Amino acid sequence: MKKKATAPIRTLSVFMLAMINLAAIGGVKNWPLTAEYGFSSIFYFLLGACIFFVPLALVTAELATGIPKAGGVYAWVKEAFGHRAGFLAVWLQWIENVIWYPTVLSFIAAAFAYAINPGLVDNTFYTIIVILIVFWGATFANLFGMKASGWISAIGVIVGTFIPAALIILLGIIWYSTGKPLQINLSWDSFIPSMNSIDDLVFFSGVMLSLCGMEMSAVHVRDVKNPKTDFPRAILLSGVILIVLSIFGVLAIASLVPQKEISLVSGSLQAFGYFVTAYDLNWLTPIIAVLFAIGAFGGMSTWIVGPTKGLLAAAQHGDLPPYFRAINSRRIPVRLLIAQAIIVTILSLVFLLMPSLSSAFWILTAMIVQVYLIMYIMMFAAAIKLRHSQPRLERPYKIPGGKIGIWTVSGLGIASSTFAILIGFFPPSQIPTGNTFFYIFFLVLSILLACIGPWVILRFQKPNWKKPLAHEQSNDILF
């Protein structure tokens, strides 16, 4: 006899969902990538917001409220193009995330180094040790469930993003108003970039990455108290906060740190270093460094469980062996999290192969952008397809303008994603990335391996993969 279906426990409010969005997308760790452009970084950021972030937010709001099924992008792409395409989409979302972990973890390591011994910032072995300790610790912390994960995200955003961001912006305003020397020229000519060569555009893919992630929170749709109204509100709230903080924060870093000296790993900490030295506030350095680390930890914690829950949705439909469908009493996919931690451990060794931490950081960033944006192209295309194939589907939030509106918004998202993928194959002249052939080969091979992964897995699919497990037969399942 089957058990009575268990109703999902809805624990996430608009505020908490917005904090999860900000933890996933925002954070001062992303600002140095944009600050590489100097004053024109604001132009590139606004451009990225208009042609990518706004379409992403609008499409996410429509899909999440119109198809409020657990699994997020997996459910949307599956509904539009079939389960194989859905599996590929969520696989790409998950695998890019796995690649991204070493970059954010390297930032956490740099923050801790500034707190205890700044000389460790460029120490590769120190960085790897911190990466492993922090990531495995965060993995085990997420085993305590979504409520605990949500609070980690909220605390991380408030303590590690809002406070440091406010300090960077405030000190930047004081610096400017007191007539201190600036590293950028605040003029209209320097605001509009020349775009005469590919070098003027390479870092734009990093700008795009700093705006990615809005769709991730959709995997928590069953945890939201009132998804049809709360989800769009959370997207609007987090979007406004993100754009305002990022513009002023990036400008503050670009104003203080010379472009050639900006570290992609610890650029935000460099800016604080300039501030505390100028104002004789050196005692603030370890405190700020710890706050940065807490913020980055909160953001990483958000991503640890999010895409994994999307992958679990695919597993429960038979796309992965039953072994990976195990969940604990708090409905967390334990074995998927452990497998993810093992892969991150292996991938972190890339820091040993690159000329510097910044070069390793960038090549991982370029890889992340390209894999991630392939998934976004599938998501934008799914939004268009669903408008045509399911025109009568109830959509509490609907992009205005009918079919022209959805084609315009999603088409802009597809075009900007494709452009960022293409420029990602050009190594930046500002950072030593080693042999150009190796750089391009590494990226091409990474994309191919990421895309063929689901095909290889399904090639060995067994009939028993689709059989429900005991807890799934009782309807007491996560999705």
Residue 2 is assigned to a structural domain of this protein: no
Longest C-alpha distance within the chain, in Å?
77
Please give the model's pTM, rounded to 2 decimal places: 0.76
Q: How far is CA 106 from the centre of its chain?
A: 15
3-state secondary structure of 12: strand
**Distance between CA 62 and CA 54 in Å, rounded?**
12
Q: How far is CA 276 from the centre of its chain?
A: 30
Tokens encoding 239:
């979007």
SS (H, E, C) 239-293: HHHHHHHHHHHHHHHHHHCCHHHCCCCCHHHHHHHHHHHHCCCHHHHHHHHHHHH
The larger pLDDT score, comparing residue 132 to residue 409, is at 409
Q: Range of 386's domain?
A: 14-460
The string of pLDDT tens digits covering residues 168-184 is: 778 778 877 887 777 67
Average pLDDT, the chain: 77
| Percent of the chain scoring above 90 in pLDDT | 8
Q: In CATH, what number is assigned to the domain containing residue 172?
A: 1.20.1740.10
The larger pLDDT score, comparing residue 62 to residue 285, is at 62
The model's confidence at residue 377, banded by pLDDT at 50, 70 and 90, is very high
- Segment 349-371 shows an average pLDDT of 70
Residue 28 is assigned to a structural domain of this protein: yes
At 1 the pLDDT is: 41
The model's confidence at residue 34, banded by pLDDT at 50, 70 and 90, is low
Burial 38-75 (b: 16+ CB within 10 A, else e): bbbbbebbebbbebbbbbbbbbbbbbbbbbbbbbbbbb
**Sign of the dihedral defined by the CA atoms of residues 374, 380, 384, 385, in that order:** positive
Residue 20 is assigned to a structural domain of this protein: yes
In DSSP notation, 338-374 reads HHHHHHHHHHGGGGGTSSSHHHHHHHHHHHHHHHHHH
At 36 the pLDDT is: 63
Rg (CA), the chain: 22
Residue identified by tokens 């409905």 is 331
Residue 277 is assigned to a structural domain of this protein: yes
DSSP summary character for residue 187? S
Residue 476 is assigned to a structural domain of this protein: no
The string of pLDDT tens digits covering residues 75-86 is: 899 999 988 899
Most confident of 34-38, 100-104, 403-407: 403-407
Residue 210 is assigned to a structural domain of this protein: yes
* Residue 57 near residue 212 (C-beta atoms within 8 A): no
Tokens encoding 117:
């011994």
**Distance between CA 341 and CA 116 in Å, rounded?**
26
3-state secondary structure of 224: strand
Residue 183 is assigned to a structural domain of this protein: yes
Burial 242-275 (b: 16+ CB within 10 A, else e): bbebbbbbbbbbbbbbeeeebbbbbbbbbbbbbb
Q: Into how many domains does the chain fold?
A: 1
Residue 67 is assigned to a structural domain of this protein: yes
- Segment 108-137 shows an average pLDDT of 81
Rounded to 10 degrees, what is the CA torsion of 443, 449, 451, 455? 170
* Closest of 383, 387, 422, 416 to residue 402, by C-alpha: 387
SS (H, E, C) 72-133: CHHHHHHHHHCHHHHHHHHHHHHHHHHHHHHHHHHHHHHHHHHHHCHHHCCCHHHHHHHHHH
Residue partners of 254: CB distance under 8 A and separation at least 6: 35, 37, 38, 39, 41, 183, 184
Is pLDDT at 315 greater than 90 in this prediction? Answer: no
Tokens encoding 352:
């040993």
